[in-house]
A and B are shown apart, each in its own frame.
Chain A
Amino acid sequence: MKVHALVLVSAFTALSPRAGAEVLPECAAHRERGRLAEARACYTAALRSESDALVLAEAQWRLGRREEANALFRRAAAQRPRDPAPRLGWARLFLESHNAAEAGKLFEEVLTLDPNAAEAHLGLALAAAEVFDEEATQHAQKALELDPKLTEARVLLARLALEEQDVKTAAAHLDAAEKMPGSPLATYALRAAIDQLAGRPESPWTKKALDRNPRYGEIYATPAHLFMLQRQYAEAADLYRRAVEVEPELWSAHAELGVNLWRLGDEEGARRHLETAYRGDPYDPTIVNSLRLLDSLKRFRTFRTRRGILRLHEKEAELMRPYVEELLEKAIDAYQAKYQFTVPRPVQLEVYPDHEDFAVRTLGLPGLGALGVSFGHVVAMDSPSGRPPGSFHWGSTLWHELNHVFVLESTRHRAPRWISEGLAVYEESLAGEGWGDHLTPDVIEAIREKKLLPIVLLDRGFVRPDYPGQVAVSYYQAGAVCEMIAREWGFPKLLAMLRAYTDGRATPEIVETELGLTAERFDERFRQFLAARTGAIVAAFEPEWKPLMKKIAALREEKKLAEAVEPARRARDLYPEYVDEGNAYELLADAAFERGDKAGAAAELDAYRKAGGRDPAVLKRLAAWCVELGRKDQAQHVLEQLLWIRPGDEELHVRLGDLLLEAKKPQPALRELQSVLALQPLDPVDAHYKLALAYHQLQDRARTREHVLQALEEAPGYRPAQKLLLEIHDDHDPD
């Protein structure tokens, strides 16, 4: 037997056309045709007859013994320090075992031995593609440049193009790949995917592949992967299910099926397939993490609401439930009316206090930068307790994600990212004062450097960003695009566009038919819209605003607040959305307060709040000033807004509860005071006493008694509680 490197690596590349010289080609041929028993016998025979470590490694790997294979690859690499082959095989084993870092090191080692090793560039491309790194394309192109017959690189380029929904480029790569040597199966799978994504479920390529290899699960798993990327989880799950039917040992498909079923709310099915996947591939962190998280769900409590299902962690369920439930129902009401659509199933909302749990729920892996995600009618998001206090407007995020529920469900998940994210961003900004994303310095830079994408390419900014921060810039752009359409054509046009996407039409056509402009003209119109809104700050950002901010910071440092007022006003007026560190509003408020103008100070901080300022300490200061100025309604409003930012703040609930009690609004006061108790307060006596007062205002004697006694149980001499006890006692029993 000749010594070669082998193919069959990750789920996607399994049975891919060719990856360099083949080890045990006759065994590989059995596999390629789905003759698994023969393949197994062939590899087993090789183990008996061969002595070369590389061949043995290959055979062990294909027999599912990865640890033995790993040891043999190590030995082979040591025996042949100048030969790329053992390292290439070993790296592929690492790739299949979900260890891209080690694989990458070995591919780099190969490149030090042979800088023109096309296989190594291909390996780096595959590793990059797994994490949607834009370098995947460059590496694949380099591999092809070095070896134009490297079919697997061509197929990878086709897949990458399809991931970006660039069917034309993908088809061109596949045309080229068909003329190249090696197995055609991966090409068939991508052809089948193109058909299915275009709404042709019965693709002739599926039959062709299964005729060649009846156990070729990838013929379904590859399209499933692409459906999943387009957030069409039900379609993906259906295809993965078919993949494991034809190839029950395709562990990656079991894993993806499990993850997708979970996204669809089927936890039992998810667990079953994830456990199957784990038995076959215990190295996949996605499987392990997902199973662990599924186990930990017993620590979550489930609540049915009018039209939804809430899952909240037991440690914060009592606190969070009333606020989450209120907003969930409010959002469903609002979207149902505005989008003229009723979600056919209860909306399931899961709130994770541990961000890494949320990340695992979303991707199966930790390290996700997002705050929330919608899988359709199932939504997962961070809890505010999972983020630094005040850094996260959870109300805005919830509103954003629930918009996705309506857009994805009403379009059968066919809305592209630009419009689904754009609508969500747009709706957030309408939901409340200071809600939603705002114009950040990164966005200003991107506008200034003309980095915004044309409408037809805007999805790329979300899926495969070209520069750091492009995802955030794309969110802003998409939101602004939707806002422009709503303003200039009317909101119903956006609904019409959603309907057109549901019908499978593409962006250029939709823009032209619904808005009456070519995509290029639309882009021009958007540039004008954006210039009217941001032109001043984009022009002044570097030459004026930044120097002003520097000057303000220096004056603040020197405590010369009075001198800083004029430059701060100019900075604020130039860029009113800037509410982050060192913003002008706080300085102007401090300066006003210093000169005894509390009303002026409060006005500045209220403008800060309306512009999107969210620092809880600043907002609480504003509320305190409002109280001192006798504007208790305003104070109440400010504190109520803070509930959507930092609901775990005991002081917030205490102060809001006090204001509501004073305003004789016992029902909302009850909610705040119950939140205080749920937070295990520093002063439970006070919380019980105030709850008693609220119930007393509601003339609920039984509960008044219950809470006043609980207060006095801990603090028998607490005079206000004693007086309330006597009052209810004397009222009840005047004698």
Chain B
Amino acid sequence: MRYQHLLRAGALIAALQPAALARAEVHFVVVGGLGGEPAYEQRFAAETRELEAAGRTLSGDPSRVRALSGGAATREAVQEAFGAVARAASSEDVLVSIFVGHGNVDGAVYKLNLPGPDPTCDELRQWLDRVPARRQLVVLATSASGGCVAPLQRTGRVVLSATRSGTERNVPVFSRYFVEALRDPTADRDHDESVTALEAFRYAEQKVQRFYADAKRLATEHATLSSDAAREFVVARRGAAARVASNVKPAPPALAARRAALETEVHALRERKAGMETEAYWTELERTLVELARVQDSIDVATGQP
């Protein structure tokens, strides 16, 4: 059910037509860097495993998920992983790259700490640029990652970083909460059973703030987001949304179109809220939402949903 609704909020963006969407694939590259000590080794490896599992659920094809951590996550191996995606992906596809671990800024150059030589920010950029997928999400959840945001930015690429600059050098807790967002239902802020990168980012950001407030410590990390287009990337699905790929009966086209139109109306109304009389706004919103709820009732009946 709610196939188009899911897509509207998801990586495979609303502006695209279903035919185009059918061709789009999501490729994942997850890298867990060098820990340096057992506690971090274990933490980064565990986070990498969770991200890999989330990627597999999301992509529906394990071959499109490449995860490297610990001793296997060398500079060459990471480069090769991106090379493999570059060979497999089309321009319509989506690339989600997530890096956890330590990073540092050496001079003005960000480096991802891996066994052996550390790749620089410029090298990461080159590897990402070679992937033809136009829409790319990069999650740099390492220390000092803010030092690599600007170089990575380009049209169609959204970059999230755990820190706002290269000078925030302590190991961030952001990655822990970003991973948590993929399994915690409360991260799904709009309750559409899909967690977008924007939702996961906001969830992690809020959890990081609470972490430092509870610990009575000055925050040594401030996550950044290069664009609200992060809402167009789904990073986890739950419930019915997770079953979409399998065998849910699609909504009748007319009802689906009406629902999409009403959702668009709700969004448009929200944008006009500031300029409207309060009661007029809520009355109008109620009218639209009631109709949307009735349309959804009809869709549920048509698709056999409870």
Contact A718 B191 (CB under 8 A): yes
Interface 9-mer from B16-24, B227-235, B246-254, B283-291: B283-291
Given contacts A682-B203, A715-B192, A717-B263, contact A725 B186 (CB under 8 A): no
Contact B191 A717 (CB under 8 A): yes
Closest residue of chain A to B210 (Cβ to Cβ) is A650
Contact B191 A725 (CB under 8 A): no
Give 8 CB contacts A-B under 8 Å.
A388-B214, A682-B184, A682-B207, A685-B189, A716-B262, A726-B290, A726-B293, A729-B290
Contact A713 B285 (CB under 8 A): yes
Chain B 150-180, CB-CB to A under 8 Å as 1, else 0, gives: 0000000000000000000000000000000
Instruction: Add 15 more A-B contacts to A682-B206, A712-B289, A716-B266 (CB < 8 A).
Output: A388-B214, A388-B215, A389-B214, A682-B189, A682-B203, A714-B189, A716-B263, A717-B292, A717-B296, A718-B191, A722-B289, A722-B296, A726-B290, A726-B293, A729-B286
Query: What is the distance, in angstroms, from A387's C-beta to the closest C-beta of chain B?
Result: 8
Residues from chain A with a CB closer than 8 A to the CB of B5 are 717
Q: Which 8 pairs, one residue from A and one from B, show the smallest C-beta to C-beta distance? A: A722-B293, A718-B191, A683-B186, A715-B190, A715-B191, A682-B186, A716-B266, A712-B289
Query: What is the distance, in angstroms, from B251's C-beta to the closest C-beta of chain A?
Result: 12
Question: Is B243 interfacial (CB-CB < 8 Å)?
Answer: no
Question: Is A139 interfacial (CB-CB < 8 Å)?
Answer: no
Given contacts A717-B2, A719-B296, contact A685 B285 (CB under 8 A): no
Residues from chain B with a CB closer than 8 A to the CB of A241 are none
Residues from chain B with a CB closer than 8 A to the CB of A716 are 190, 262-263, 266, 289, 292
**Bound CA span A686–B188, Å:** 10
Question: Is B270 interfacial (CB-CB < 8 Å)?
Answer: yes
Chain B 262-306, CB-CB to A under 8 Å as 1, else 0, gives: 110010001000000000001001100110111011000000000
Chain A 705-724, CB-CB to B under 8 Å as 1, else 0, gives: 11001001111111101110
Closest residue of chain A to B283 (Cβ to Cβ) is A709
**Bound CA span A714–B189, Å:** 8
| Residues of A679-698 contacting chain B, CB below 8 A | 680-686
Contact A685 B191 (CB under 8 A): yes
Residues from chain A with a CB closer than 8 A to the CB of B289 are 709, 712, 716, 722, 725
Chain B 32-74, CB-CB to A under 8 Å as 1, else 0, gives: 0000000000000000000000000000000000000000000
Query: What is the distance, in angstroms, from A533's C-beta to the closest C-beta of chain B?
Result: 36
Contact B187 A682 (CB under 8 A): yes
| Residues of A318-335 contacting chain B, CB below 8 A | none
Residues of chain B at the chain A interface (Cβ within 8 Å): 2, 5, 184-192, 203, 206-207, 214-216, 262-263, 266, 270, 282, 285-286, 289-290, 292-294, 296-297
**Bound CA span A726–B262, Å:** 16
Residues of chain A at the chain B interface (Cβ within 8 Å): 388-389, 680-686, 705-706, 709, 712-719, 721-723, 725-726, 729
**Bound CA span A715–B188, Å:** 10
**Bound CA span A617–B39, Å:** 22
**Bound CA span A682–B210, Å:** 11
Contact B186 A686 (CB under 8 A): yes
Contact B292 A683 (CB under 8 A): no
Contact B187 A685 (CB under 8 A): no
Query: What is the distance, in angstroms, from B231's C-beta to the closest C-beta of chain A?
Result: 13
Residues from chain B with a CB closer than 8 A to the CB of A706 are 282
Closest residue of chain A to B294 (Cβ to Cβ) is A726
Query: What is the distance, in angstroms, from A361's C-beta to the closest C-beta of chain B?
Result: 19
Contact A686 B293 (CB under 8 A): no
Closest residue of chain B to A718 (Cβ to Cβ) is B191
Contact B186 A723 (CB under 8 A): no
Q: Is the contact region of chain B dominated by helix, strand, or loop, or is it mixed?
A: helix
Q: Is the contact region of chain A dominated by helix, strand, or loop, or is it mixed?
A: helix
Residues from chain B with a CB closer than 8 A to the CB of A683 are 185-186, 188-189
**In the complex, which of the residues A684, A705, A713 has the most CB atoms of chain B within 10 Å of its own CB atom?**
A713
**Bound CA span A401–B192, Å:** 48
Query: What is the distance, in angstroms, from B138's C-beta to the closest C-beta of chain A?
Result: 24
Query: What is the distance, in angstroms, from B300's C-beta to the closest C-beta of chain A?
Result: 8
**Bound CA span A219–B56, Å:** 83
**Bound CA span A43–B177, Å:** 69
Contact B285 A709 (CB under 8 A): yes
**Bound CA span A706–B206, Å:** 26
**Bound CA span A716–B190, Å:** 8
Contact A723 B293 (CB under 8 A): yes
Query: What is the distance, in angstroms, from B261's C-beta to the closest C-beta of chain A?
Result: 12
**Bound CA span A712–B290, Å:** 10
Closest residue of chain A to B206 (Cβ to Cβ) is A682
Query: What is the distance, in angstroms, from B304's C-beta to the closest C-beta of chain A?
Result: 15
Closest residue of chain A to B209 (Cβ to Cβ) is A680
Residues from chain A with a CB closer than 8 A to the CB of B185 are 683
Closest residue of chain B to A680 (Cβ to Cβ) is B206
Query: What is the distance, in angstroms, from A353's C-beta to the closest C-beta of chain B?
Result: 10
Query: What is the distance, in angstroms, from B133's C-beta to the closest C-beta of chain A?
Result: 28
**Bound CA span A320–B191, Å:** 29
**In the complex, which of the residues A388, A682, A705 has the most CB atoms of chain B within 10 Å of its own CB atom?**
A682
**Bound CA span A683–B185, Å:** 9
Closest residue of chain B to A723 (Cβ to Cβ) is B293
Residues from chain A with a CB closer than 8 A to the CB of B296 are 717, 719, 722
Choice from A388, A714, A729 contacting B216 with Cβ under 8 Å: A388
**Bound CA span A716–B290, Å:** 10
**Bound CA span A725–B214, Å:** 37
Residues from chain A with a CB closer than 8 A to the CB of B266 are 713, 716
Residues from chain A with a CB closer than 8 A to the CB of B189 are 682-685, 714-715
Query: What is the distance, in angstroms, from B260's C-beta to the closest C-beta of chain A?
Result: 11
**Bound CA span A682–B290, Å:** 26
**Bound CA span A297–B57, Å:** 53
**Bound CA span A729–B294, Å:** 11
Query: What is the distance, in angstroms, from A12's C-beta to the closest C-beta of chain B?
Result: 36
Residues from chain B with a CB closer than 8 A to the CB of A685 are 189-191
Query: What is the distance, in angstroms, from B64's C-beta to the closest C-beta of chain A?
Result: 28
Query: What is the distance, in angstroms, from A358's C-beta to the closest C-beta of chain B?
Result: 14
Residues from chain A with a CB closer than 8 A to the CB of B191 are 685-686, 715, 717-719, 721
Contact A713 B294 (CB under 8 A): no
Residues from chain A with a CB closer than 8 A to the CB of B285 are 709, 712-713
**In the complex, which of the residues A680, A681, A716, A725 has the most CB atoms of chain B within 10 Å of its own CB atom?**
A716
Residues from chain A with a CB closer than 8 A to the CB of B294 are 726
Query: What is the distance, in angstroms, from A36's C-beta to the closest C-beta of chain B?
Result: 49
Contact A709 B286 (CB under 8 A): yes
Query: What is the distance, in angstroms, from B68's C-beta to the closest C-beta of chain A?
Result: 31
**Bound CA span A705–B184, Å:** 28
**Bound CA span A726–B207, Å:** 34
**Bound CA span A712–B285, Å:** 9
Closest residue of chain B to A388 (Cβ to Cβ) is B216
Residues from chain B with a CB closer than 8 A to the CB of A719 are 191, 296
**Bound CA span A723–B270, Å:** 21
Choice from A680, A682, A717, A726 contacting B192 with Cβ under 8 Å: A717
**Bound CA span A353–B297, Å:** 48
Residues from chain A with a CB closer than 8 A to the CB of B216 are 388
Residues from chain B with a CB closer than 8 A to the CB of A721 are 191
Residues from chain B with a CB closer than 8 A to the CB of A686 are 186, 191
**Bound CA span A17–B286, Å:** 83
Contact B292 A705 (CB under 8 A): no
Closest residue of chain A to B5 (Cβ to Cβ) is A717
Residues from chain B with a CB closer than 8 A to the CB of A388 are 214-216
Closest residue of chain A to B262 (Cβ to Cβ) is A716
Choice from B206, B263, B297 contacting A726 with Cβ under 8 Å: B297
Closest residue of chain A to B216 (Cβ to Cβ) is A388
Query: What is the distance, in angstroms, from B305's C-beta to the closest C-beta of chain A?
Result: 9
**In the complex, which of the residues A680, A712, A718 has the most CB atoms of chain B within 10 Å of its own CB atom?**
A712
Query: What is the distance, in angstroms, from B51's C-beta to the closest C-beta of chain A?
Result: 20
Choice from A681, A684, A714, A725 contacting B290 with Cβ under 8 Å: A725
Residues from chain B with a CB closer than 8 A to the CB of A725 are 286, 289-290, 293
**Bound CA span A713–B271, Å:** 11
Residues from chain B with a CB closer than 8 A to the CB of A389 are 214
Query: What is the distance, in angstroms, from A685's C-beta to the closest C-beta of chain B?
Result: 6
**Bound CA span A718–B292, Å:** 11
Residues from chain A with a CB closer than 8 A to the CB of B187 are 682
